[in-house]
Structure 1
């Protein structure tokens, strides 16, 4: 039985240029010379693979996987969705990793000096494998906004970082999930580097009351599309899908 694959042309207009002065970090970090294409070896394409035996039972539950003597502080939420290709087909067995700030807007990292306190019961990271339908699910707290040294009074809107692995470590894509209705959307210098408003819309996770738990937590849905016109914007794929 032959399989027909749809061809989706790259849309280069939705991705920001590497050099975007309003986001000051790009001034020093953006390349000044044409990028080189490095051939990938067979071992990089085929391994290592990921299986359920590699994950702990609480890896997907950020409310419990670093808890010491109680629950994390903050608004409890569920983040869930599907990983699909450009034609809506599920991508099973995909390793999805997340990391985020706590409810006060501070990361549990030695280099984060923001004045918000560290939450001893929140580590801020987790991982899960997509099931046969490409579905993943995390429990966590809604991260807080935080200031950063871009220009005077620069703030990052609340976000969760996502890392999506393919069949091996060389097949990795990174993106950020934002929350529907965030008032800082038009003020976030990093989010505003995306010139296509529709592409930024695809990073805004809508509230999903159907997946929320009554008297427990709200839910947000974040579907990830790997290629095509409706692809998720990825930080490390500036040229498009």
Structure 2
């Protein structure tokens, strides 16, 4: 076994700031005062218990009731690890996204794009003993979001990872390689460090691809340390 990598707090440039000038909604919801460290209670750090006995697994977003959703079927897989590369086993991963037309299955989304009755856009999976996860979905579409003139979000999938309690939830987004909207997107570009930003972009993986059925994309997540995945703070 290789020597552990010394833990080092990430450079601020590798994580998005609370308030980003180009990301409009952060101006109204970021903290206005200096943050205070408040001790966590036992309940916050140890409850509830996120495991498959209490939370149902739903790993296939590409169909509802056996009826296939419209769009390009994909498989997303990867590993969740700590800063030393050790697997984070039995981690509950929640996923949500827009459909192939760029619309969420949510009443607040009034984008003028069609809804798909066979796509609900949410999944829940758990990592195995090696920290691996996998789910099937439909490649999402881009959508307008009114942050600035002619603003469109790149195609992306949201990830929420749960630890041992309510205070241990981390949220990030996975993007797709070659998307021309990435260079224009304020959310993606709030992470100043280019190498850290690129950790949010998945990679095409032929080993994950299922012949004649779905293309595969790899998205590995590192929870903290020098190579940590950028997570949403605002």
- Identify the TM-score tier after normalising by the shorter chain: over 0.9
- Match for residue 215 of structure 1? 212
Cα shift at 1:4? 7.2
Further displaced range: 103-112 or 37-46: 37-46
- Match for residue 9 of structure 1? 9
> How do 1:140-155 residues align onto structure 2 when only pairs under 5 Å count?
140-155=137-152
Cα distance between partner residues in 1 of 2:67 and 2:10: 48
- Match for residue 32 of structure 1? 32
Question: TM-score, with normalisation over the residues of structure 1?
Answer: 0.91
SS in 1 for 2:197: helix
Cα distance between partner residues in 2 of 1:26 and 1:168: 26
Cα distance between partner residues in 2 of 1:142 and 1:80: 14
Cα shift at 1:63? 1.6
Cα distance between partner residues in 2 of 1:210 and 1:5: 28
- Match for residue 231 of structure 2? 234
Cα shift at 1:128? 0.7
- Match for residue 70 of structure 2? 73
- Match for residue 42 of structure 2? 42
Cα distance between partner residues in 2 of 1:43 and 1:32: 27
* Native 8 Å contact 2:50 2:162 kept in 1: no
C-alpha offsets along residues 113-158 of structure 1, whole Å, 9 cap, x if unaligned? 1011110000000011110000110000010000111111001000
C-alpha offsets along residues 21-65 of structure 1, whole Å, 9 cap, x if unaligned? 2111122222221122221011221122122223435x111123x
Question: TM-score, with normalisation over the residues of structure 2?
Answer: 0.94
Cα shift at 1:19? 2.2
* Native 8 Å contact 1:205 1:221 kept in 2: yes
2:113 paired with 1:116: yes
Cα distance between partner residues in 2 of 1:4 and 1:198: 22
Q: Compared with structure 1, are the counterparts of its residues 13 and 189 closer, same or farther at alpha carbon in structure 2 (3 Å cutoff)?
A: closer
Cα distance between partner residues in 2 of 1:196 and 1:5: 21
Across the aligned residues of Structure 1 and Structure 2, the Cα RMSD in angstroms comes to 1.7
SS in 2 for 1:194: coil
Cα distance between partner residues in 2 of 1:150 and 1:134: 36
2:122 paired with 1:125: yes
Give 5+ residue unaligned stretches, structure 2. Answer: none
* Native 8 Å contact 1:68 1:120 kept in 2: no
> How do 1:180-199 residues align onto structure 2 when only pairs under 5 Å count?
180-199=177-196
* Native 8 Å contact 2:93 2:159 kept in 1: yes
Please list every run of at least 4 consecutive aligned residues from structure 1 whose deviation after the TM superposition is greater than 6 angstroms.
none
- Match for residue 104 of structure 1? 101
Q: How many residues align?
A: 232
Q: Compared with structure 1, are the counterparts of its residues 140 and 11 closer, same or farther at alpha carbon in structure 2 (3 Å cutoff)?
A: same
Give 5+ residue unaligned stretches, structure 1. Answer: none
* Native 8 Å contact 2:79 2:221 kept in 1: yes
